[in-house]
Chain A
């Protein structure tokens, strides 16, 4: 198969885009998130909950008007990269461009560098370090483009990540109980509700956690899993979680989650893993699709 060569400017374009996407994700809330937050305000029944949601809506307006970050937490920068199999690409150059773009956004904007080494807690002041930004690669078929989804993953939500290696005898019942009990007892007010609950089902421990992350941060609010069985599970858990009454910022109300997304994989006959990853209400993300000639489109 003949692969399409990329333009000379291709990797420089990737660098610029990775810089711009980080800043865009921090400032420009996706349209689906804007919409669901308005709906949440209309639906909310408690006075305190309404007050909190009104401030969230006001915040979106101020960020737009003053070209300001939605939230101070610049997060751990994550880039989800889909590379078309018909593109001739140098992955070393691609990765270097992504990292450079992330660092430049931090220094040139400037943004707070929220990244430190795990033992000494040293901060390079450029949102990067060993293995960070986190970059996830996928190869997609019949395609000569690179798609980059940038997610600044804040800590209030990421700290509320949970994995349980249930056993087959616990079945779906055990999965449902683990999710609801974890939201009620551990997650609660911490990650800025109303949040997106990302659930990973199946796979291995590492894959299950990754699926929960993909569910929480990559999908538009209101989207449903294409598998009808999974979609029904999403709807059921969405309703059940909101019945807990945790409400906006955990101060009580009918809006605890703005959505529940599930991603799954087959698993071992002896295993029944379930993972939870939360995305806070601003659910920030920004996306770009780049062609071999360096032309590109930007969205959410």
Chain B
């Protein structure tokens, strides 16, 4: 299991060297995306308001304090469950060139296929650890679609953002699938033990 520090925007080469279980720390910027803005982008067919080529996108809707017109400071920024946003990953990678999705609990087959095809990965962050995560965000550099508050699109400048765990790599490996398959395979044995 290797450890990497990667600068954004990420290249295909950056992502292709990652394997599940590796640890990654990010430097640069990450973009906050989420249900409402993805629904607008893909179902509403409104193009993304910023260039996402090589982007690392995190599933979040932060707590913020408004400090001026279009200016916010972080109150608490953490990460939400990714499965709700699963169907948007192929579009993010294919249409917009996104290279990394940061989230918790992982994604399904279509996202895995998109990661394989385009050179993408899923970086697992610890859920419910928003105080820790907020410490690693230096500044909110930009925000778009404030009418969707808190589900706007956010640009965060980050420092030492990690360690994140590579949970889905660009070769079709998915840690969550492995863990789940093992759990399901143990069911019969556990049923027997407890008379179920």
Query: Which of A's residues lie within 8 Å of B, judged by CB?
Result: 47-48, 51-52, 55-56, 58-60, 62-63, 66, 68-74, 109-114, 121, 123, 125, 154-156, 159, 172-173, 176-177, 180-181, 183-185, 188-192, 236, 240, 243-247, 249-252, 280-282
Docked pose: A93 CA to B180 CA in angstroms: 49
Interface residues of B in 47-80 (CB under 8 A from A): 60-65, 75-80
B75 to chain A, nearest CB (A): 7
| B105-A72 in contact (CB<8A) | no
Report chain B residues within 8 Å CB of A51: 23, 163, 165
Report chain B residues within 8 Å CB of A252: 175, 178-179, 182
Query: Which of B's residues lie within 8 Å of A, judged by CB?
Result: 1, 21, 23, 36, 60-65, 75-81, 83-84, 104-106, 124, 126-135, 149-150, 163, 165, 167, 175-176, 178-180, 182-184, 186-187, 190-191, 193-196
Task: Select which of B105, B124, B128, B165 is within 8 A of A190 by beta carbon.
Answer: B105
B61 to chain A, nearest CB (A): 7
Docked pose: A173 CA to B149 CA in angstroms: 46
Docked pose: A59 CA to B191 CA in angstroms: 36
| B128-A71 in contact (CB<8A) | yes
| B130-A177 in contact (CB<8A) | no
Task: Select which of A156, A180, A247, A281 is within 8 A of B191 by beta carbon.
Answer: A180
Residue of B nearest to A62 (CB): B131
Residue of A nearest to B196 (CB): A176
Residue of B nearest to A121 (CB): B36
Residue of A nearest to B148 (CB): A123
Task: Select which of A73, A110, A111, A246 is within 8 A of B183 by beta carbon.
Answer: A246
Other A-B contacts than A59-B130, A189-B106, 12 sampled, CB-CB below 8 A, are: A55-B129, A59-B133, A71-B129, A114-B61, A184-B186, A188-B105, A192-B127, A192-B128, A236-B194, A244-B190, A245-B183, A250-B179
Whether A176 touches B191, Cβ cut-off 8 Å, given contacts A190-B83, A246-B183, A251-B179, is: yes
A186 to chain B, nearest CB (A): 10
Interface centre among A72, A112, A192 (most CB of B within 10 A): A72
Task: Select which of B127, B183, B193 is within 8 A of A249 by beta carbon.
Answer: B127
Docked pose: A10 CA to B196 CA in angstroms: 52
Judged by DSSP, the binding face of A is loop
Task: Select which of A56, A58, A173, A188 is within 8 A of B176 by beta carbon.
Answer: A188
B175 to chain A, nearest CB (A): 6
Residue of A nearest to B127 (CB): A192
A131 to chain B, nearest CB (A): 21
| B80-A69 in contact (CB<8A) | no
| A112-B129 in contact (CB<8A) | no
Report chain A residues within 8 Å CB of B149: 123, 125
Report chain B residues within 8 Å CB of A185: 180, 184
| B75-A110 in contact (CB<8A) | yes
Docked pose: A63 CA to B78 CA in angstroms: 12
Interface centre among A60, A113, A249 (most CB of B within 10 A): A249
| B179-A109 in contact (CB<8A) | no
Interface centre among A110, A125, A184 (most CB of B within 10 A): A184
Docked pose: A47 CA to B23 CA in angstroms: 12
| B176-A68 in contact (CB<8A) | no
A68 to chain B, nearest CB (A): 4
Report chain A residues within 8 Å CB of B81: 155-156, 159, 190-191
Report chain A residues within 8 Å CB of B180: 184-185, 188-189, 246, 250
Docked pose: A246 CA to B174 CA in angstroms: 14
Q: List 26 A-B contacts (CB under 8 A).
A: A51-B163, A55-B126, A56-B128, A56-B129, A68-B134, A71-B130, A72-B63, A72-B76, A110-B64, A111-B75, A112-B63, A112-B76, A121-B36, A154-B128, A156-B81, A188-B179, A188-B183, A189-B104, A189-B105, A246-B183, A247-B179, A249-B105, A250-B106, A250-B176, A252-B179, A252-B182
